[in-house]
Structure 1
């Protein structure tokens, strides 16, 4: 089974939390039993999270050797310049080594749900939206990449993993994905 879930802002990508007070987790969304996240999405990121009960499929979706692109809509602080976008496209040097090249393009503000809490808005500092696709998944990678080129991330929403898309799922909603190709299950 493969589940597509729209993870809301502030929710942990796990089913339990031992902190005090406990933070919201996946357990509060009525997901089927015995499914687990195929990958992670930080608590301050939103969007598509895939869950499965099939370990091989989870590995296929998350192992960087399979180069499943992960696509994000990213609101950044600043006005992206061609040099900054080119640096992201070539790959940037992070403290844990260089990233693979990314697909990057500037986009119009996408039609997204309001975030709670809302992104801070400053009248004197412009912001812009980028669509960024990466084929690896380091910890907070997209945020660190945009920061490395001088464009701090304000909001990050994953919209696709490989052929699987968020589509019209509202935050907190999920659906069973019927189109898992047989070769992905091997």
Structure 2
């Protein structure tokens, strides 16, 4: 039976085990031989990563054609209006074409339990911020950041909280847990 490792990736950690530029990598947190990331999370994004010791399962989790939904909590600069929400839900047009429709909702108190980011985001007294939950099944490069930028809401912080039915809940930043699984929809 394959093993799956769930990891809460900190800000500015690469989603790989080595780097020729000396940046911090998964190796600083995970000492499990033969585990490989099933997909990636940008250097400046945080949250849930799934790693496995099974190559076939790794491909199934990472491949966008399997439509495994990913859930992000996104702190944006500015106030979100209904028109912007509709644009995200319809799938904004990016330089590489239109995105698939996203599931989007405004967040409230649920973000209060997030760990503080180190270093903290820039805050401007005169410009408010707001949190959104964005769920997508595509995996384009920096897609969520480009989607919010396309509707004039720059992303300040991006945290992946779920991949399919797997959730970040219970993992502090920099922590991981190991489980046996039968496939990507197992909880």
Provide TM-score, normalisation by structure 2: 0.94
Where has structure 1 moved over 2 Å in runs of 4 or more? 180-185
Change (3 A) 1:88 1:182: closer
SS in structure 2 at match of 1:177: strand
Listed one character per residue, the Cα deviations across residues 96-150 of structure 1 (whole Å, up to 9, x for unaligned) are 1110100000011501101110011101001100000000111000000000011
Within 1, Cα distance between the matches of 2:183 and 2:12? 34
Change (3 A) 1:118 1:184: closer
Q: 2:14 aligns with which of 12, 21, 26?
A: 12
In the alignment of these two chains, the number of paired residues is 182
SS in structure 1 at match of 2:104: strand
Change (3 A) 1:174 1:96: same
Within 2, Cα distance between the matches of 1:96 and 1:31? 37
| C-alpha deviation, 1:156, in angstroms | 0.2
Corresponding residue of 1:91: 91
Alpha carbons 1:75, 1:156 under 8 Å: kept: yes
Corresponding residue of 1:152: 154
Within 2, Cα distance between the matches of 1:37 and 1:158? 15
Corresponding residue of 2:182: 181
Provide TM-score, normalisation by structure 1: 0.94
In structure 2, runs of 5+ residues without a counterpart are none
| C-alpha deviation, 1:53, in angstroms | 1.2
Alpha carbons 1:60, 1:184 under 8 Å: kept: no
Corresponding residue of 1:68: 68
Q: CA RMSD in A?
A: 1.4
Change (3 A) 1:145 1:182: closer
SS in structure 1 at match of 2:114: coil
In structure 1, runs of 5+ residues without a counterpart are none
